[in-house]
Amino acid sequence: VSAKDVLVVAEVREGRAKKTALEATTAARALADAAGGEVVALVAGEGVSAAASDLGRHGADRVLAVEGEAFRRLVGSALAEATLAAVAEASPRLVLFSATVAGKETAPAVAARLGCAYVADATALAFDGDAVVATKPKYAGKASATVIALGTPVVASLRGNVVAPREAAKAGAVSPLAVDLPPARVRLKEVVPPAVREIELTEADVVVSGGRGLGGPENWNLVLDLAKALGAAHGASRAVVDAGWRPHSEQVGQTGKTVSPKLYVAVGISGAIQHLAGMSSSKTIVAVNKDGDAPIFSVADYGVVGDLHQVVPLLTAEAKAFLSK
Protein backbone atom coordinates (compact mmCIF):
# COMPACT_ATOMS: atom_id res chain seq x y z
CA VAL A 1 0.00 0.00 0.00
CA SER A 2 1.47 3.27 -1.12
CA ALA A 3 0.19 6.79 -0.67
CA LYS A 4 1.17 7.48 -4.28
CA ASP A 5 -1.07 4.95 -6.01
CA VAL A 6 -3.79 5.88 -8.45
CA LEU A 7 -7.05 3.94 -8.62
CA VAL A 8 -8.70 4.07 -12.05
CA VAL A 9 -12.41 3.30 -12.15
CA ALA A 10 -12.77 1.73 -15.59
CA GLU A 11 -15.98 1.16 -17.52
CA VAL A 12 -16.66 -1.68 -19.92
CA ARG A 13 -18.60 -1.67 -23.16
CA GLU A 14 -19.32 -4.91 -25.00
CA GLY A 15 -16.69 -6.76 -23.00
CA ARG A 16 -13.83 -4.33 -23.66
CA ALA A 17 -12.50 -1.34 -21.71
CA LYS A 18 -14.09 1.84 -23.00
CA LYS A 19 -11.84 4.33 -24.78
CA THR A 20 -12.40 6.74 -21.88
CA ALA A 21 -11.13 4.05 -19.47
CA LEU A 22 -7.95 3.65 -21.55
CA GLU A 23 -7.51 7.44 -21.50
CA ALA A 24 -7.84 7.46 -17.68
CA THR A 25 -5.41 4.54 -17.36
CA THR A 26 -2.88 6.38 -19.55
CA ALA A 27 -3.26 9.52 -17.41
CA ALA A 28 -2.94 7.47 -14.22
CA ARG A 29 0.24 5.78 -15.52
CA ALA A 30 1.90 9.16 -16.06
CA LEU A 31 0.88 10.35 -12.57
CA ALA A 32 2.05 7.16 -10.88
CA ASP A 33 5.37 7.18 -12.77
CA ALA A 34 6.03 10.75 -11.68
CA ALA A 35 5.28 9.90 -8.03
CA GLY A 36 6.77 6.40 -7.87
CA GLY A 37 3.41 4.74 -7.30
CA GLU A 38 1.27 2.04 -8.86
CA VAL A 39 -1.80 2.09 -11.04
CA VAL A 40 -4.65 -0.04 -9.75
CA ALA A 41 -7.65 -0.40 -12.06
CA LEU A 42 -11.13 -1.31 -10.92
CA VAL A 43 -13.30 -2.98 -13.52
CA ALA A 44 -16.88 -3.95 -12.72
CA GLY A 45 -19.15 -5.79 -15.10
CA GLU A 46 -20.27 -9.14 -16.41
CA GLY A 47 -17.36 -10.90 -18.15
CA VAL A 48 -14.49 -8.48 -17.60
CA SER A 49 -11.37 -10.53 -18.41
CA ALA A 50 -10.77 -9.01 -21.87
CA ALA A 51 -11.32 -5.52 -20.44
CA ALA A 52 -8.87 -6.31 -17.61
CA SER A 53 -6.14 -7.18 -20.12
CA ASP A 54 -6.89 -3.94 -22.04
CA LEU A 55 -6.16 -2.08 -18.81
CA GLY A 56 -2.95 -4.01 -18.10
CA ARG A 57 -1.74 -3.26 -21.62
CA HIS A 58 -2.32 0.48 -21.01
CA GLY A 59 -0.38 0.62 -17.77
CA ALA A 60 -2.36 -0.93 -14.91
CA ASP A 61 -0.04 -2.75 -12.48
CA ARG A 62 -2.98 -4.65 -11.08
CA VAL A 63 -6.66 -4.98 -11.77
CA LEU A 64 -9.45 -5.46 -9.24
CA ALA A 65 -12.24 -7.32 -11.03
CA VAL A 66 -15.82 -7.19 -9.80
CA GLU A 67 -17.97 -9.71 -11.62
CA GLY A 68 -21.71 -9.93 -11.57
CA GLU A 69 -24.97 -9.32 -13.36
CA ALA A 70 -25.65 -6.39 -11.00
CA PHE A 71 -22.67 -4.56 -12.56
CA ARG A 72 -23.67 -5.19 -16.18
CA ARG A 73 -25.10 -1.70 -16.44
CA LEU A 74 -23.86 0.84 -13.94
CA VAL A 75 -27.08 2.16 -12.45
CA GLY A 76 -27.88 3.11 -8.89
CA SER A 77 -25.11 2.70 -6.34
CA ALA A 78 -23.42 -0.40 -7.87
CA LEU A 79 -20.33 1.42 -9.12
CA ALA A 80 -20.08 3.55 -5.95
CA GLU A 81 -20.14 0.44 -3.76
CA ALA A 82 -17.50 -1.25 -5.93
CA THR A 83 -15.32 1.89 -5.82
CA LEU A 84 -15.58 2.17 -2.04
CA ALA A 85 -14.53 -1.49 -1.73
CA ALA A 86 -11.58 -0.84 -4.07
CA VAL A 87 -10.57 2.27 -2.12
CA ALA A 88 -10.57 0.20 1.10
CA GLU A 89 -8.44 -2.46 -0.63
CA ALA A 90 -5.93 -0.17 -2.43
CA SER A 91 -5.78 3.00 -0.24
CA PRO A 92 -5.07 5.19 -3.28
CA ARG A 93 -3.88 8.80 -3.27
CA LEU A 94 -6.17 9.59 -6.21
CA VAL A 95 -9.36 7.94 -7.45
CA LEU A 96 -9.77 8.67 -11.15
CA PHE A 97 -13.08 8.28 -12.98
CA SER A 98 -13.91 9.19 -16.56
CA ALA A 99 -16.35 12.07 -16.98
CA THR A 100 -19.00 9.79 -18.50
CA VAL A 101 -22.62 9.50 -17.34
CA ALA A 102 -21.73 6.74 -14.86
CA GLY A 103 -18.52 8.53 -13.82
CA LYS A 104 -20.18 11.89 -13.28
CA GLU A 105 -23.00 10.29 -11.32
CA THR A 106 -20.75 8.07 -9.19
CA ALA A 107 -17.58 10.10 -8.53
CA PRO A 108 -19.34 12.87 -6.55
CA ALA A 109 -21.26 10.26 -4.54
CA VAL A 110 -18.00 8.51 -3.63
CA ALA A 111 -16.40 11.84 -2.66
CA ALA A 112 -19.42 12.71 -0.50
CA ARG A 113 -19.39 9.34 1.23
CA LEU A 114 -15.64 9.57 1.90
CA GLY A 115 -15.91 13.28 2.78
CA CYS A 116 -13.03 14.02 0.43
CA ALA A 117 -12.14 16.49 -2.32
CA TYR A 118 -13.68 16.13 -5.79
CA VAL A 119 -12.44 17.69 -9.02
CA ALA A 120 -14.94 17.32 -11.87
CA ASP A 121 -14.11 17.10 -15.57
CA ALA A 122 -10.35 17.58 -15.16
CA THR A 123 -8.27 18.22 -18.28
CA ALA A 124 -4.91 17.88 -16.47
CA LEU A 125 -3.82 16.45 -13.11
CA ALA A 126 -0.56 16.45 -11.16
CA PHE A 127 0.67 15.62 -7.68
CA ASP A 128 2.23 18.61 -5.94
CA GLY A 129 3.43 17.89 -2.40
CA ASP A 130 0.36 17.22 -0.27
CA ALA A 131 -2.01 18.45 -2.95
CA VAL A 132 -3.45 17.33 -6.25
CA VAL A 133 -3.35 20.21 -8.71
CA ALA A 134 -5.88 19.98 -11.52
CA THR A 135 -7.04 22.05 -14.45
CA LYS A 136 -10.73 22.08 -15.22
CA PRO A 137 -12.98 24.07 -17.54
CA LYS A 138 -15.47 26.54 -16.10
CA TYR A 139 -18.19 28.58 -17.76
CA ALA A 140 -18.43 25.82 -20.40
CA GLY A 141 -14.82 26.28 -21.40
CA LYS A 142 -14.85 30.09 -21.59
CA ALA A 143 -12.24 29.86 -18.81
CA SER A 144 -10.18 27.17 -17.14
CA ALA A 145 -9.43 26.98 -13.44
CA THR A 146 -6.38 25.65 -11.64
CA VAL A 147 -7.82 23.78 -8.66
CA ILE A 148 -5.93 22.67 -5.54
CA ALA A 149 -7.42 19.58 -3.89
CA LEU A 150 -6.31 18.59 -0.39
CA GLY A 151 -6.68 15.41 1.68
CA THR A 152 -6.50 11.70 0.86
CA PRO A 153 -7.85 10.36 -1.32
CA VAL A 154 -8.77 12.98 -3.89
CA VAL A 155 -11.53 11.95 -6.30
CA ALA A 156 -11.48 13.29 -9.86
CA SER A 157 -13.15 12.68 -13.19
CA LEU A 158 -11.17 13.04 -16.41
CA ARG A 159 -12.72 14.74 -19.40
CA GLY A 160 -12.88 12.58 -22.54
CA ASN A 161 -10.60 13.20 -25.53
CA VAL A 162 -7.92 15.18 -23.65
CA VAL A 163 -5.49 12.29 -23.09
CA ALA A 164 -4.64 9.96 -25.99
CA PRO A 165 -4.64 6.29 -24.90
CA ARG A 166 -1.10 4.91 -25.02
CA GLU A 167 0.06 1.34 -24.56
CA ALA A 168 2.50 0.84 -21.67
CA ALA A 169 2.34 -2.82 -20.81
CA LYS A 170 2.37 -3.64 -17.10
CA ALA A 171 1.60 -6.86 -15.28
CA GLY A 172 -2.08 -6.11 -14.94
CA ALA A 173 -2.43 -8.98 -12.46
CA VAL A 174 -6.12 -9.59 -11.97
CA SER A 175 -7.58 -10.28 -8.57
CA PRO A 176 -11.27 -10.64 -7.82
CA LEU A 177 -12.90 -8.12 -5.51
CA ALA A 178 -16.06 -9.05 -3.63
CA VAL A 179 -18.62 -6.29 -3.28
CA ASP A 180 -21.76 -6.52 -1.17
CA LEU A 181 -24.58 -4.56 -2.71
CA PRO A 182 -27.50 -3.27 -0.66
CA PRO A 183 -30.97 -4.00 -2.12
CA ALA A 184 -31.23 -2.06 -5.40
CA ARG A 185 -33.31 1.09 -5.13
CA VAL A 186 -32.67 1.90 -8.81
CA ARG A 187 -33.67 -0.86 -11.24
CA LEU A 188 -33.14 -0.99 -14.99
CA LYS A 189 -36.49 -1.53 -16.69
CA GLU A 190 -35.58 -1.08 -20.31
CA VAL A 191 -32.79 -0.07 -22.66
CA VAL A 192 -33.98 1.63 -25.81
CA PRO A 193 -31.34 1.31 -28.54
CA PRO A 194 -30.87 4.19 -30.96
CA ALA A 195 -32.71 3.88 -34.26
CA VAL A 196 -29.35 4.07 -36.04
CA ARG A 197 -26.08 3.21 -34.30
CA GLU A 198 -24.33 6.53 -34.14
CA ILE A 199 -21.00 7.86 -32.94
CA GLU A 200 -21.34 9.48 -29.50
CA LEU A 201 -20.87 13.23 -29.90
CA THR A 202 -18.69 13.76 -26.84
CA GLU A 203 -16.32 10.91 -27.74
CA ALA A 204 -16.03 11.47 -31.49
CA ASP A 205 -12.75 12.45 -33.15
CA VAL A 206 -14.60 14.45 -35.80
CA VAL A 207 -17.86 16.39 -35.34
CA VAL A 208 -19.94 18.15 -38.00
CA SER A 209 -22.57 20.54 -36.63
CA GLY A 210 -25.26 22.50 -38.38
CA GLY A 211 -26.98 25.75 -37.55
CA ARG A 212 -29.79 27.99 -38.69
CA GLY A 213 -27.89 28.73 -41.89
CA LEU A 214 -29.17 25.37 -43.20
CA GLY A 215 -32.51 27.10 -43.70
CA GLY A 216 -34.72 24.26 -42.49
CA PRO A 217 -34.77 20.67 -41.24
CA GLU A 218 -35.32 19.46 -44.83
CA ASN A 219 -31.74 20.48 -45.64
CA TRP A 220 -30.17 18.50 -42.79
CA ASN A 221 -28.97 15.80 -45.19
CA LEU A 222 -26.18 18.26 -46.08
CA VAL A 223 -24.84 17.90 -42.51
CA LEU A 224 -25.48 14.15 -42.36
CA ASP A 225 -23.80 13.48 -45.72
CA LEU A 226 -20.70 15.47 -44.79
CA ALA A 227 -20.56 13.75 -41.38
CA LYS A 228 -20.80 10.36 -43.07
CA ALA A 229 -18.06 11.25 -45.56
CA LEU A 230 -15.77 12.31 -42.69
CA GLY A 231 -16.74 9.43 -40.36
CA ALA A 232 -17.98 12.09 -37.97
CA ALA A 233 -20.65 12.45 -35.31
CA HIS A 234 -23.21 15.16 -36.03
CA GLY A 235 -24.44 17.95 -33.80
CA ALA A 236 -26.59 21.07 -33.90
CA SER A 237 -26.70 24.61 -32.56
CA ARG A 238 -29.16 25.68 -29.87
CA ALA A 239 -31.16 27.76 -32.35
CA VAL A 240 -31.82 24.65 -34.42
CA VAL A 241 -32.75 22.53 -31.39
CA ASP A 242 -35.02 25.24 -29.99
CA ALA A 243 -36.71 25.47 -33.41
CA GLY A 244 -37.41 21.74 -33.20
CA TRP A 245 -35.35 20.77 -36.25
CA ARG A 246 -33.12 18.41 -34.27
CA PRO A 247 -33.36 16.60 -30.88
CA HIS A 248 -31.86 17.99 -27.64
CA SER A 249 -29.34 15.14 -27.54
CA GLU A 250 -27.55 16.66 -30.55
CA GLN A 251 -27.13 20.17 -29.11
CA VAL A 252 -23.56 21.45 -28.80
CA GLY A 253 -23.07 24.45 -26.52
CA GLN A 254 -23.23 25.68 -22.98
CA THR A 255 -26.68 24.19 -22.33
CA GLY A 256 -25.94 21.17 -24.49
CA LYS A 257 -22.92 18.96 -24.93
CA THR A 258 -19.34 20.15 -24.65
CA VAL A 259 -17.14 18.58 -27.29
CA SER A 260 -13.40 18.74 -27.95
CA PRO A 261 -12.80 16.59 -31.03
CA LYS A 262 -9.70 16.67 -33.21
CA LEU A 263 -11.77 18.32 -35.94
CA TYR A 264 -14.98 20.35 -35.58
CA VAL A 265 -16.79 21.50 -38.70
CA ALA A 266 -19.42 24.23 -38.15
CA VAL A 267 -21.88 24.57 -41.02
CA GLY A 268 -24.20 27.57 -41.09
CA ILE A 269 -23.47 28.40 -37.44
CA SER A 270 -22.86 32.07 -36.72
CA GLY A 271 -21.13 31.35 -33.39
CA ALA A 272 -23.13 32.68 -30.44
CA ILE A 273 -21.09 32.75 -27.19
CA GLN A 274 -23.37 29.93 -26.02
CA HIS A 275 -22.24 27.73 -28.92
CA LEU A 276 -18.56 28.71 -28.83
CA ALA A 277 -18.47 27.69 -25.17
CA GLY A 278 -19.31 24.11 -26.11
CA MET A 279 -16.81 23.60 -28.93
CA SER A 280 -13.96 26.11 -28.79
CA SER A 281 -11.62 23.59 -27.13
CA SER A 282 -11.72 21.50 -30.32
CA LYS A 283 -8.21 21.04 -31.68
CA THR A 284 -9.00 22.21 -35.21
CA ILE A 285 -12.11 24.17 -36.22
CA VAL A 286 -13.45 24.65 -39.74
CA ALA A 287 -16.35 27.02 -40.42
CA VAL A 288 -18.56 27.31 -43.49
CA ASN A 289 -20.73 30.43 -43.42
CA LYS A 290 -21.99 33.01 -45.87
CA ASP A 291 -21.16 35.88 -43.50
CA GLY A 292 -17.39 36.38 -43.39
CA ASP A 293 -17.76 38.52 -40.26
CA ALA A 294 -19.64 35.83 -38.28
CA PRO A 295 -18.10 35.28 -34.81
CA ILE A 296 -17.49 31.60 -35.63
CA PHE A 297 -14.53 32.74 -37.76
CA SER A 298 -12.89 34.21 -34.64
CA VAL A 299 -12.34 30.69 -33.28
CA ALA A 300 -12.00 28.85 -36.62
CA ASP A 301 -8.60 27.79 -37.94
CA TYR A 302 -9.91 27.44 -41.50
CA GLY A 303 -12.96 28.95 -43.09
CA VAL A 304 -14.93 28.99 -46.29
CA VAL A 305 -17.09 32.07 -46.85
CA GLY A 306 -19.87 31.15 -49.22
CA ASP A 307 -23.32 29.65 -49.71
CA LEU A 308 -23.30 26.43 -47.71
CA HIS A 309 -25.83 24.86 -50.08
CA GLN A 310 -23.09 24.91 -52.72
CA VAL A 311 -19.98 24.60 -50.51
CA VAL A 312 -21.08 21.65 -48.37
CA PRO A 313 -21.93 19.27 -51.27
CA LEU A 314 -18.57 20.20 -52.82
CA LEU A 315 -16.80 19.54 -49.54
CA THR A 316 -18.61 16.20 -49.14
CA ALA A 317 -17.73 15.05 -52.64
CA GLU A 318 -14.11 16.21 -52.37
CA ALA A 319 -13.76 14.65 -48.89
CA LYS A 320 -14.96 11.27 -50.23
CA ALA A 321 -12.40 11.44 -53.04
CA PHE A 322 -9.66 12.72 -50.71
CA LEU A 323 -10.18 10.05 -48.04
CA SER A 324 -10.32 7.20 -50.58
CA LYS A 325 -6.83 8.14 -51.81
Partner 1 sequence: MDVVVCVKRVVDTETKVRVAADGKSLDPAGVQHVMAPYDEMALEKALRLRDAAGGGTVSVVTLGPPEASKELRTALAMGADRAVHLVASATGDALSTAQALAEAVKALPHDLVLCGKQATDDDDAAVGPMLAALLGVPCVAFVVALDVAGKVATAKREVDGEAEVLEVDLPAVFTAQKGLAEARLPGLKGIMAAKKKPLEEKATTPPPSKTSVRALALPPPRAACRKFPPTAEGVRALLGALRAEKGVL
Nearer to partner 1, 34 or 142 (CB): 142
For 47-85, give the DSSP string.
Answer: S-HHHHHHHHHTT-SEEEEEE-GGGSS--TTHHHHHHHH
Positions 139 through 158 that interact with partner 1 (CB under 8 A): 139-151
Classify the C-alpha dihedral 274-279-281-284 as positive or negative: negative
The DSSP line for 2-56 is -TT-EEEEE-EETTEE-HHHHHHHHHHHHHHHHHT--EEEEEEESS-HHHHHHHH
Site string for partner 1, 263-292 (x = CB under 8 A): x--------xxx--x--xx-xxxxx----x
Binding residues for partner 1, rule CB under 8 A, total 98
Compute the distance between CA of residue 23 and CA of residue 10 in angstroms, rounded to an integer.
Answer: 10
Nearer to partner 1, 24 or 39 (CB): 24
Least distance in Å: CB of 65 to partner 1? 22
* Cα distance between residue 121 and residue 140, in whole Å: 11
Nearer to partner 1, 223 or 230 (CB): 230
Nearer to partner 1, 39 or 110 (CB): 110
**Which region, left, alpha or beta, applies to residue 310 given φ > 0 means left and ψ of -120 to 50 means alpha?**
alpha
- d(CA 303, CA 173) in angstroms, rounded, equals 50
User: Minimum distance from CB of 227 to partner 1 (Å)?
Assistant: 13
Question: Pick from 191, 218, 293, 324: which binds partner 1 (CB under 8 A)?
Answer: 191
CB 307 within 8 A of CB 214: no
Q: How far apart are CA 31 and CA 35, in angstroms?
A: 6
Question: Given the rule CB under 8 A, which of 25-33, 86-94, 213-221, 305-313 is the region that contacts partner 1?
Answer: 305-313
Nearer to partner 1, 170 or 246 (CB): 246
Dihedral (Cα; 199, 249, 138, 157), 10-degree rounding: -50
CB closer to partner 1 out of 13 and 47: 13
Residues 43-62 that bind partner 1 (CB under 8 A): none
**Which segment (47-55, 64-72, 164-172, 302-310) binds partner 1 by CB under 8 A?**
302-310
**Residue 27 makes contact with partner 1 by CB under 8 A:** no
Stretch that binds partner 1, among 39-47, 60-68, 89-97, 193-201 (CB under 8 A): 193-201
| Strand 16-17 versus strand 302-305 pairing type | unpaired
Residues making up the chain, counted from first to last: 325
Q: Choose between 117 and 223: whose C-beta lies nearer to partner 1.
A: 117
Secondary structure of residue 193 in the 3-state scheme: coil
Looking at 15, 49, 138, 215, which residue binds partner 1 (CB under 8 A)?
138
Contacts (CB under 8 A) with partner 1, residues 80-119: 80, 101-102, 104-113, 115-119
Of the listed pieces 41-49, 62-70, 167-175, 245-253, which binds partner 1 according to CB under 8 A?
245-253
